[in-house]
Structure 1
Amino acid sequence: MLFLVAAGVLWGTGGLAGALLQDLAGLHPLAVAAYRLLIGGAIATVALAAQLQRLPRTRAVGRRLLTAGALLAVFQASYFGGVAMTSVSLATLVTIGSSPVIIAVVTAIRDRRMPSARTGLCITIALAGLGLLAGTPSARDFWHTVAGILLCLTAAAGFAAFTMVNRNAVPGLSTGGTISIGLLFGGLLLLPAALTVGMSLPMTPQVVATTLFLGAVPTATAYGLYLIALRQANPVAAALAAVLEPLTATVLSVAFFGERLATAGIIGAVLLGVALAVNYSAQSRSAQGEPVLPRPRTGAEVGS
């Protein structure tokens, strides 16, 4: 649970770092997303070079790495597309709010059982908190809003699928291998589109430091912690940890950028905290009424 909380908090620093990089370098959001995945994957690959040399060359490992990379690319590209079509607040609300709902629905259909009362309560409180925290977002017109929401729902589905696919380990594939190569592959998928909008990066100390931070902290480290935690937490609980991303970004904006939080936003932040407290109060998945998923098979490496 601590790893899930840490991942959500670190993701919250990524939005601000990405916005800062976009302003400093004049980059398109799609280029920022590509840099985030590529730099994060490169940093993780260098840090885990010795571990990656032992990576088995099997079809199961190849399929998992390709799937992880493709889902990361879909998530990043769709989310930033939704931001461009609507607004940051609306895109974040729809994407982060929809992910645990999608996972809960898919899990209920797969297991032929309704989610527990605790799960439903957590999701409801989290959605209410996100709505208050985001406020009433504005959009240019109706059709832009519809298109943007569809992109955000695609992003939410991508993140939900990433969470559920990586819930169980592949024999011989470590968390480090999944995150390093998965990030690199996702970045490579976005690279052609990012090159068309421009990826010129000024080599100033501030730009370089921001780029390295974006790749190392809210990307390589946060996704690594998230994947490790997935092996011990149920998918809905893991997806709910993502609500810490907008909450952290809001707190940092108020603390360091002088932004003011309205009363509704304060109430929303409190509701998010309540949702997380209710979610994490259970000491086991069975206490939450969620089905206990099988542990990885013996011999499967799950640590990074």
Structure 2
Amino acid sequence: MSSSRARAGLLQICLAGVLWGTGGLAVQVVRDHAPLSVLTISGWRTGLAAVVLLAAALVAGRLGEVRRLLRARPGRVAVVGLCTAAYQALYFASVVLVGVTVSTVVSLGLAPVLLVARDAVVARSRPRGVLPVLAALTGLVLVSTAAGPGETGPTPVLGVLAAVASGTAYAAATALGEPLARGSDPLALTAATTTVGAVGLVPVALLLGGPAGTSDPVALAVLVYLGTLTFALAYALLYAGLRTTSSSAAVVATLVEPVTAGLVAAVFLGERLGVLGVAGMVLVLSAIASLPRAGRAGRAGARGLPASGPVVGGPPGTTA
């Protein structure tokens, strides 16, 4: 794999993280204008994304590829789609139960740890290249703490369990989506997995989410933004990037999400980042900057050639 392809894939995944990072503010705007629960918003987001992606696949002549993918790998596509829907809903639930800081650190921080461990087991060797991962996780803690110091929810134990489940589902969706991405059209793969996720999540949102809709134009416009950009486009970018980037590297790269969320909060909400927040952002971005070399080493190992270790050197959890 060429260096330029590795960098392009990493950039696509980082852009997905940037889009996810704007979702927190978007959800807040929706809740300011309409009495919708986070579960209902998540259902809207996934359902709208599925409609947009299927329409795009129709226009681009990719519906046949979507059908072929569903016939060829129905189990894996279903698991990836349902895990994708589950981890965002579980993350939202965790935020309500335990607060933003703990939810973000546990949900987003657990995924790279799980995938580092998986890579070590697969390679049958001790984990290597963990320093960039530790740097990214330390940065995540600093950014999250600076964004919401002292925040806590009413049911911390259930909240932490929900965050652990969210992070596990995030890691599973990324790891299982990586081999699909390498042999599939990104638009077709995103349309297939998102449609499955919508079929699983929307009925749950209708049954348990409270009010199902709103007539407020601002809320509706932001819901469309959440579905089209922070979901449909973001996941298309993620799967496109996974064609040249390992899943363990991808979950580190998507830690640009809380960095973006912190910057958005500072610009639009007047929140102060502080020294710790800025230091955390620098750590996360430095870890991401070291990914291309690690990605090339990991690809060599995947071809049966000597490699320096699992592809973690140097990131959908989602704060949206």
Q: State the TM-score, normalized to the length of structure 2.
A: 0.83
Match of 1:300 in 2: none
For the Cα contact (< 8 Å) 1:234–1:290, is it kept in 2? no
Distance 2:295 2:181 in 1: 23
Match of 1:251 in 2: 263
Deviation readout 1:33-79 (Å, 9 max, x if unpaired): 11111111111111111211343276433223211221112212211
Match of 2:233 in 1: 221
State the 1:290 CA deviation. 7.4
Which runs of no fewer than 5 residues in structure 2 stay unpaired?
Answer: 1-9, 305-320
Assess, with a 3 A threshold, how the Cα gap between structure 1 residues 290 and 16 changes in structure 2: closer, same or farther. farther
**Identity, % of aligned pairs?**
30
Q: State the TM-score, normalized to the length of structure 1.
A: 0.87
Equivalent of 1:151, from 153, 162, 169? 162
Match of 2:43 in 1: 34
How many residues align structurally? 288
Equivalent of 1:181, from 170, 178, 192? 192
For the Cα contact (< 8 Å) 2:99–2:151, is it kept in 1? yes
Which secondary structure state, in structure 1, belongs to the residue aligned with residue 180 of structure 2?
A: coil
Assess, with a 3 A threshold, how the Cα gap between structure 1 residues 44 and 111 changes in structure 2: closer, same or farther. same
Equivalent of 1:62, from 74, 83, 86? 74
Distance 1:199 1:185 in 2: 23
Q: Tell me whether 1:233 sits opposite 2:245 in the alignment.
A: yes
Match of 1:301 in 2: none
Q: Tell me whether 1:77 sits opposite 2:77 in the alignment.
A: no
Equivalent of 1:198, from 197, 204, 210? 210
Match of 2:287 in 1: 275
**Letter aligned with residue 203 of structure 2:** P
Q: Tell me whether 1:138 sits opposite 2:151 in the alignment.
A: yes
Cα RMSD (Å): 2.2
State the 1:201 CA deviation. 2.4
**Letter aligned with residue 275 of structure 2:** T
Match of 1:123 in 2: 133
Distance 1:138 1:172 in 2: 43
State the 1:105 CA deviation. 0.5
Match of 1:110 in 2: 122
Which runs of no fewer than 5 residues in structure 1 stay unpaired?
Answer: 295-304
